[in-house]
Amino acid sequence: MTKTVAIIGGGVAGLETAKQLNSLGYSVKLFEKTNTLGGHVAKWDRLFPNKRHASEVVSSLTLSQGNTQTITETTVHSIKRENQGFVISANSSNHEADAVVLATGFELFPAEKKEEYGYGLFENVITSADLEQMFKKHGKPVMASGHKPVRIAFIHCVGSRDEKVNRPYCSKVCCVTAVKQAIEVKEALPNSEVFCFYMDLRMFGPGYEDLYKEAQSKGVTFIRGRLSESSEIEGGRVLIKAEDTLASTPLKMSVDIVVLMVGMSPLRGTNKLATDLGLSINADGFIAATDLHTNPTGTATNGVFVVGACTGPNNITDTINAAKATVLDVHNYLSR
């Protein structure tokens, strides 16, 4: 009899896991709370490091789902172990499965929590996600008034490496995303001035360092220093204060748009599912794997696996790799 695997979350982690399990002949039920697949990536315009359209990745994953039963607009409320399997309660109906993969992903850090930056207050303070939407819609950033911005500041590490908001960890992808977006701004608005305020530039992946060099060659100015506060001035422009820690001097400048590079936060709601299943949560709020080095997809509960950004910040490549590894673990478990 064909065994069934329930995957919670229809982002790239869930989609790749579903695709691979399908190819091994398992019956796969993929639960997604929204009405679209692809998670955060589906909302992105282009991807680092090669500026490929995000829709290509999402399409490639969704079109290769085979017999996966995708159940969208469905929130999983609880998962209980019953006999040798699991019962998944979602939108007042129950589903049975032999194994469960949590691919619930993350949520963007709510930028409003950095009250001093003015997100939600000042109309030209936006997030990196908002900027992707602008690129999708207009192909360039636009001020709230509809005017073309001349000066744009990117603020790195908003909700990352920040103990004040209880996010002491690095979100990994924001540095390279800022560099990618800064280049895109320069390409769309060649006469604009673009500034990146960073703590460190963590360019760890293939092609990332090249992207950083490209940004420099295109005239993006990198300032090592964290934003202290922003204020709205005439015309909806934004006055920002920071410290240039290389020059050891305070700095104040007015810009047309401030882009906050929001980090990855643990998804609210995942903790309940994890607790129901007896999983451990790390101090940073993400789900703990059995062994960080040797078993990063396993959990303390037999038959329950984790993949993707529900275990911590991840980029697409690492998520796809993790999904393939998870599938092998699921297969081994179900073949006992």
Partner 1 sequence: MKLEGKRKIWNEYQKDIADDKYFYVRSCIRQAVFPGSENTYLRIMRDVLKKDVHESAHHTTCTGIGYHTEVVPFETIQTVVARNFALMREAGYENYTPSCVTSFGIYTEILDTWHHFPEEKKRTAEYLKKATQRDFQEPGNMAHTSDIIYKFRHQIAEKAKYKLVNRITGLPLKVVDHIGCHYAKMFPEKGIGGAEHPHVLAGLIEAFGGEVIDYPERRHCCGFGFRQYFIKANRGYSIAASKKKFESMEPYQPDLILTNCPGCNYFMDRWQYALAEMEGKTYDTQGNGIPVLAYEELAGLMLGFDPWEMGLQMHQVGIETLMDKIGIPYNLSEKYKGAKGEDLGVPESPRNIKFYK
Binding site for partner 1 (CB under 8 A): 112, 115-116, 120-123, 229, 231-234, 239
Q: Return phi, psi of residue 223, to 5°.
A: -120, 120
Tell me how far, at minimum, the Cβ of 151 lies from partner 1, in Å. 16
Tell me how far, at minimum, the Cβ of 204 lies from partner 1, in Å. 33
Each as own residue / partner, the long-range contacts of residues 82-90 (CB below 8 Å, 24 or more positions apart, any chain) are 85/4, 85/303, 86/6, 86/303, 86/304, 88/6, 88/8, 88/29, 88/31, 90/31
Nearer to partner 1, 216 or 228 (CB): 228
Nearer to partner 1, 116 or 244 (CB): 116
Nearer to partner 1, 82 or 115 (CB): 115
Tell me how far, at minimum, the Cβ of 11 lies from partner 1, in Å. 28
For the record, the structure tokens of 95 come out as: 């589903």
Kind and range of the H or E run holding 273 = helix 270-276
β-bridge partners, 30: 7, 70
Tell me how far, at minimum, the Cβ of 145 lies from partner 1, in Å. 13
Nearer to partner 1, 48 or 117 (CB): 117
CB burial readout 8-17, b (16+ within 10 A) else e: bbbbbbbbbb
For the record, the structure tokens of 270 come out as: 């995942």
Is residue 227 helix, strand or coil?
strand
Nearer to partner 1, 34 or 231 (CB): 231
Is residue 83 helix, strand or coil?
coil
Encoded amino acid at 153, one letter: A
Q: How many CB atoms lie within 10 A of CB 321?
A: 13
Between CA 289 and CA 278 the distance in angstroms is: 12
Tell me how far, at minimum, the Cβ of 130 lies from partner 1, in Å. 14
Residue 237 near residue 132 (C-beta atoms within 8 A)? no
Tell me how far, at minimum, the Cβ of 223 lies from partner 1, in Å. 19
Tell me how far, at minimum, the Cβ of 194 lies from partner 1, in Å. 22
Distance of CA 303 to the CA centre of its chain: 26
Nearer to partner 1, 73 or 112 (CB): 112
Nearer to partner 1, 122 or 305 (CB): 122
